[in-house]
Amino acid sequence: MKRKHKRLTFVIVAMALLGIAVGLVLMAFEENIVFFNSPTDIVNKQPESGKRLRLGGLVEEGSVVREAGSTVTRFRVTDLVNAVDVNFDGILPDLFREGQGVITEGKYIDGVFQASEVLAKHDEQYMPPEVADALRNSGEWRGDLGPPAK
Amino acid sequence: MADLHRFANPTRFLKLAGLIQPWALAVFLISATVGLYMAFFTAPADYQQGESARIMYVHVPASWMSMFCYTVMAVASAVSLIWKHPLADVSARATAPIGAAFTFLALATGSLWGKPMWGTWWVWDARLTSVLVLLFLHIGYMALQGAFDDRVRAAKASAILALVGFVNVPIIKFSVDWWNTLHQPASVVKMSGSSIHPSMLWPLLIMAIAFKAYYVWVLLVRMRQELVANKVRILRLKQVHGG
């Protein structure tokens, strides 16, 4: 074998081994890389109270209650299988509304998620408002498209 | 290979680069003008995110370029290591700061977009973290290239770094599919086709062409500058030793 063929083989083998090694490491750390838990995760695992974690899902339709005279908001986060009650005292992001994907960070205490931060998640769909309206009127609207802007 | 080696000759490369360079600049200026005009005036606001979504016309092409530049660096590094091609190391070194700039632009515009939409400037999710690692890889590559007095050793060490760091590129691309992240999944490059309305997709693609042409232009400027500087150095050495 010529020297450059040796080097070529070496680089290919080294890259393949490196790829496998990194893949195994990422699989081993899967739990830590995942950014949030679903309501079903929370209901099944019943995390110890006081442990900080993130809960992600959709804001349940009709569940948002804003307490008068304060910045406290109560709502439920659902993955359409299970739902978790959330309390939050603070300013919500612009995209927050019923049906919207959110990620909340806080502690799960006595069956209620006490959030200290609420982040809004948006999907990969982009279209003009008129197209969104047309889709909704024709009944072509898919459930995963999220609610329209106010 | 004999045909390819014709362009491998630095003198021939200089000539060819001189021909391409003004065209790359022209394509960049035209497509950036058209793309930005469309981004601001003809593209509609998004149904969900409103006017804020317009930042994607810079954010998305910059993010594509950050991964593209790193891929070019990794391929050029492999060519430099295996075939010891003189232009390979020059092109990888010329690409690094451009890639770093695009990565920084992607992170900065993403942060500006994240505050109004998500409600935060930054989170440590898999996508954002892996792109930050990409910025560090670009900067680390530049630092390693500069850390050796011997050009040959610098080329070898930094080529190995570029190849090892390449595992991060597929991780960035698929991070949004493999793990749940705050960042949205892919809108354009995916199996099920684009989920961006054509009126918004076109300016996005034109901006991507603009960024790519900008890269070609700056790459050629940097490579020519380096090759000419090498020539000057060799002439000076000849003067000293021959004089």
Distance, in Å, from the CA atom of B100 to the CA atom of B92, rounded to the nearest integer, reads 12
Please report whether residue A40 resides in a domain: yes
pLDDT digits (tens, 9 = 90+) for A86-121: 999 988 888 888 888 899 999 998 889 999 999 998
Helix, strand, coil percentages, rounded to 5, for chain B: 80, 0, 20
Task: Select the highest-mean-pLDDT range: B175-184, B193-202, B213-222.
Answer: B213-222
Same domain, A49 and A98: yes
In a domain, A17, yes or no: yes
- CB distance A107 to A51 below 8 Å: yes
The answer on A117 and A83 residing in a single domain is yes
Residues of A in contact with B186 (CB under 8 A): 124
Alpha helices in A1-150 (DSSP H): 3-28, 30-33, 39-45, 129-137
What global pTM score does this model have? 0.88
Is the pLDDT confidence value at B190 over 50? yes
- Return the top range by mean pLDDT from A3-7, B3-7, B15-19, B20-24: B20-24
Share of chain B above pLDDT 90, in %: 73
Contact B208, B57 (CB under 8 A): no
Alpha carbon distances (Å) from A98 to A65, A86, A102, B40, B118: 11, 13, 10, 30, 15
* Average pLDDT over every residue of B145-152: 90
The angle subtended at Cα A99 by Cα A98 and Cα A103, nearest 5°, is: 90
Instruction: Using an 8 Å CB-CB cutoff, list chain B residues near A14.
Output: 163
Q: Buried (b) or exposed (e) across B114-152, using 16+ Cβ within 10 A?
A: bebbbbbeebebbbbbbbebbbebbbbbbebbeeeeeee
For domain B23-242, which CATH number applies: 1.20.120, 1.10.357, 1.10.10, 2.60.120? 1.20.120
Residue A103 backbone dihedrals phi, psi, to 5 degrees: -125, 125
Instruction: Pick the closest to residue B222 from B110, B130, B93 (CA basis).
Output: B93
Residue A82 sits in the same domain as residue A68: yes
What does each C-alpha distance from A132 to A61, A114, B38, B188 come to in angstroms?
A: 19, 34, 21, 18
List pLDDT tens digits, range B22-74. 999 999 999 999 999 999 999 999 988 889 899 999 999 999 999 999 999 99
Residues of B in contact with A22 (CB under 8 A): 167, 171
User: d(Cα B98, Cα B26) in Å, to the nearest integer?
Assistant: 19
A40 to chain B, closest Cα gap in Å: 14
Residues A42 and A81 in one domain: yes
A140 pLDDT exceeds 80?
no
- Which among A34, A35, A132 has the least Cβ separation from residue B47? A132
pLDDT at A28: 86
**pLDDT tens digits, one per residue of B214-225:** 999 999 999 999
B111's enclosing H/E stretch is helix B86-117
Query: Cβ contact (<8 Å) for A33 and B179?
Result: yes
Is the separation of the CB atoms in B17 and B9 below 8 Å? no
| pLDDT surpassing 50 at residue B1 | no
Residue A36: closest CA among chain B residues belongs to which residue?
B180
For residue A100, give its domain range. 35-121
Indicate yes or no: CB of B46 within 8 angstroms of CB of A126.
yes
**Residue A146 has what pLDDT?**
53
Out of B120, B184, B197, the one facing A131 most closely (by C-beta) is B197
Interface subset of B 43-72, CB within 8 angstroms of A:
44-50, 53, 56
Q: Provide the ipTM.
A: 0.81
- A29 and A39, same domain (yes or no): no
Q: What percent of chain B has pLDDT over 70?
A: 96
Q: Give the three-class secondary structure for A100.
A: coil
A71 with A90, same domain: the answer is yes
Do A22 and A43 fall into the same domain? Answer: no
